[in-house]
Structure 1
Amino acid sequence: METNLLTLLRRHAALTPDAPCLTFGDETLSFAAFDARASRVAHALAAQGLQAGDRVAIIARNGPAQFELFFGCAKAGAICLPINWRLAPREIAGILGDSTPALLIVEEALQGLLAETLTPPATILLAEYPAWRDAESPHDPGTLPAPESPLLILYTSGTTGLPKGVVLSHCNLSFLAQMAHELWEMSARSVNLVASPLFHIGGIGYGLTALSQGGHTVLMQQVVPAEIVAAIQTYRVTHGFFVPTVIQMLLEVPGVAEMDMSSINRIVYGGAPIGEAVLKRAITMLGCGFMSTYGMTETAGTVIMMPPEDHDPGGPLAHRLRACGRPMPWNEFALVDPATGEPVAVGEVGEIRIRSEAIMLGYWNKPAETAKTITPDGWMCTGDAAYQDADGYVYIHDRFKDMIVSGGENIYPTEIENVLYDHPAVAAVAVIGVPHKRWGETPMAFVVARAGAMPTEAELIAFTRARLAHYKCPTAVAFVAALPQNASGKILKKEMRDPRWLEEQA
């Protein structure tokens, strides 16, 4: 297996120099042109005085600059640091203070995010970036960093605490290429649509898959459903990654049922199970294979997946829609009791642990946090609760930190959410524990109803009681217009637990 994505880019630039590499808006770069831009960036970084291991940060909405900086940093031995532009100035200040980048590229409209950064690094505005880049030579410097050297730092979303910088190496990220080739059926003929934010592993990581195979990447600045379906038709897109809520939005685009979507081969989704009703509609309208994934920033993306043949809505395998799949062949997988570290039996809930060469080097500047997360013998402790059936399929229960303890009973919110997603009037749902005088805490469901539907609280509670033990069922249901989400589509339960958010929903 090739352990450096830089080698693959150079190979495609040499063998298929004129093949389309990256499209953004009205511009399409060939592999030769894109590779030359990465070389210019490497020389520009050197001219700026950066050395191997220095961090190069970017705060900007999706655009070619993130990918150019990624490969430019690879050629310069530097570390690329895309930062979440949706954070508050105080959070941005914390990340810049922790990572101490030597250079920052920032989009003009986002300069206000630096308001609380006391000593900003050397800064280049995004509008100035092309001239800064193109002032240097397109000649490849020819460097090839060691597989174990760091290339990318992504700060976690902070849903369970303060953001931590996940450090990923060239070797960690090379598994994206193996996954694209062996499991996602990507090739030089693939056209991959990337709409997820590039400061997230589901954006920058997924965006490297088809590119690693010599395929064409179509980059969107943000998720706009009508623009996505238009791009699918224009560029004959074959692959895409979306969270289930975005898939549902695509199905609601006016006229989508009559559009030509025949080019699509594979839709990859993650972040949550997909509802059976949504999947049925999606298969009918899009006519392609669906693949579920489970992974983390710390694992450089996907480590568990379920192929299209296991997506069987209405059939004998329909129960597998609640699974995220089976571990990928290059990962060691275990489910253990987090208190003892001992394996749990088939069907019992335990913590997912992964051991693989794809696992991060560690958290930037946080050796104690790294030691708590990666055991001395190399197992990554995910904090996610799951069980595995006799056929090896993994079913996510929840994060252990999200577990509700009601009257001494452990309740996993995802189990309740999965049931409510089966109700035809439910578009989105999240369950959290709220205080209860008798039981300590009790489940409360926050529901976004489907357009035109008007379910009642009593109806949804009765729906769960017909399918779950009564102690697991929500004792209250609140209807909301939207659930708080981060840029990757993950529901922010930490924010939902904030009393101010709860009061706003009252």
Structure 2
Amino acid sequence: MQAYGSTEAGGISRMIYAEECKQQRSVGRLSENLEAKIVHPLTGEFLSVGQQGELWIRSPAVMKGYVGDEEANVKTFGCQGWLKTGDLCYIDENGYIYIVDRLKELIKYKAYQVPPAELEQVLQSSPEIIDAAVVPYPQEEVGQIPMAFVVRQPGSKISAVEVMDYVAKKVAPYKKIRKVSFVNSIPKSAAGKILRKELATYAMSAPVSRL
């Protein structure tokens, strides 16, 4: 059994049955007694099936608010009891939820929002790469550009240009990796989450290759 949830909301979705577990990359269908909608993070527009936006949920299990922190409550709750999860998601025609990334981790390239997790999946699909992480790198002309930290497979001599070309063939032009730094390992928390802040700080002083 697999479940997706949060401290503020409890269980949001689950995968229990064999049919559900076949939906690769999904976190399952909504749990009982819970409503959900996908909302455009900038306009607040309600989005349709397959469209990416912030997942909002409503349930008797959702907390009432943060004690003594009105600013956090304003950011976290919409009208009529909706909780903003902060997760960029979409829901398919069969009701399965797919998490794309955390909204706060999106890279702002020109007028586009680039999900680091999507680029990390592409990088990790290369037989030359063991692990990878993508972080925003400040660039005055466009705001931010995607920078990749890459762990090569033992014996691999893949170059930074080859890494960037590999990704460029698989994503839209605005999502291309534009800086690369090779590292021995990707820093992660005890729970396995990439320590992006640590990498973003290191990015400002790391030797990089740029496209």
Which category of TM-score, normalised to the shorter sequence, fits these structures? Answer: 0.7 to 0.9
Structure-2 separation of matches of 1:305 and 1:438: 43
Partner AA of 1:403 in structure 2: L
Match of residue 127 from structure 2: 424
Match of residue 305 from structure 1: 14
Identical positions, percent? 36
Partner AA of 2:184 in structure 1: A
Structure-2 separation of matches of 1:472 and 1:448: 20
> Where do 4+ consecutive residues of structure 1 move more than 6 Å?
none
Match of residue 355 from structure 1: 58
What is the CA-CA distance between 1:336 and the residue it aligns to?
0.8
What's the secondary structure of 2:51's corresponding residue?
A: coil
Matches within 5 A, 1:15-94: none
Do 1:464 and 1:473's aligned partners in 2 also have CA atoms closer than 8 Å?
yes
Q: 1:354 to 1:437 in 2, by over 3 A?
A: same
Match of residue 457 from structure 1: 160
What is the CA-CA distance between 1:344 and the residue it aligns to?
0.5
Match of residue 72 from structure 2: 369
What's the secondary structure of 2:84's corresponding residue?
A: strand
Structure-2 separation of matches of 1:441 and 1:339: 18
Partner AA of 1:434 in structure 2: Y
Match of residue 403 from structure 1: 106
Give the superposed CA RMSD. 2.5
What's the secondary structure of 2:13's corresponding residue?
A: strand
What is the CA-CA distance between 1:331 and the residue it aligns to?
2.2
Structure-1 separation of matches of 2:37 and 2:144: 30
Of structures 1 and 2, the one scoring higher in RCO (CA 8 A, sep 6+) is 2
The answer on 1:479 being equivalent to 2:178 is no
Match of residue 203 from structure 2: 502
Matches within 5 A, 1:74-473: 184=1, 291=2, 293-300=3-10, 302-307=11-16, 309-310=19-20, 320-473=23-176
Partner AA of 1:335 in structure 2: I
TM score, norm. by length of structure 1: 0.37
Q: Deviations 1:459-496 (Å, cap 9, x if unpaired)?
A: 32222122111221101221222223233222222332
Do 2:137 and 2:203's aligned partners in 1 also have CA atoms closer than 8 Å?
no
Q: 1:401 to 1:329 in 2, by over 3 A?
A: same
Higher strand content, 1 or 2: 2
TM score, norm. by length of structure 2: 0.82
Partner AA of 1:299 in structure 2: A
Please list every run of 5 or more consecutive structure 1 residues that lacks an aligned counterpart in the other structure.
1-183, 185-290, 313-319
Do 2:36 and 2:58's aligned partners in 1 also have CA atoms closer than 8 Å?
yes
What is the CA-CA distance between 1:409 and the residue it aligns to?
2.4
Q: 1:503 to 1:441 in 2, by over 3 A?
A: closer
Do 1:445 and 1:476's aligned partners in 2 also have CA atoms closer than 8 Å?
yes
Do 1:322 and 1:418's aligned partners in 2 also have CA atoms closer than 8 Å?
no
Structure-1 separation of matches of 2:129 and 2:32: 36
Answer with 1 or 2: which has the greater Rg: 1
Partner AA of 1:297 in structure 2: T
What's the secondary structure of 2:81's corresponding residue?
A: coil
Q: 1:449 to 1:394 in 2, by over 3 A?
A: farther
Structure-2 separation of matches of 1:429 and 1:327: 31
Structure-1 separation of matches of 2:6 and 2:131: 22
Q: 1:482 to 1:335 in 2, by over 3 A?
A: same
Do 2:135 and 2:196's aligned partners in 1 also have CA atoms closer than 8 Å?
yes
What is the CA-CA distance between 1:381 and the residue it aligns to?
0.5
Higher helix content, 1 or 2: 1
Do 2:114 and 2:175's aligned partners in 1 also have CA atoms closer than 8 Å?
yes
Partner AA of 2:99 in structure 1: I
Partner AA of 2:113 in structure 1: N
What's the secondary structure of 2:54's corresponding residue?
A: strand
What is the CA-CA distance between 1:435 and the residue it aligns to?
2.0
Q: 1:362 to 1:404 in 2, by over 3 A?
A: same
Q: Deviations 1:425-477 (Å, cap 9, x if unpaired)?
A: 33322211212344332111112334554433223222212211122110122
Count of aligned pairs: 206
Q: 1:328 to 1:421 in 2, by over 3 A?
A: farther
Partner AA of 1:387 in structure 2: Y
Structure-2 separation of matches of 1:455 and 1:412: 24
Structure-2 separation of matches of 1:328 and 1:448: 38
Structure-1 separation of matches of 2:124 and 2:28: 19
What's the secondary structure of 2:187's corresponding residue?
A: coil
What's the secondary structure of 1:432's corresponding residue?
A: strand
Partner AA of 2:169 in structure 1: A
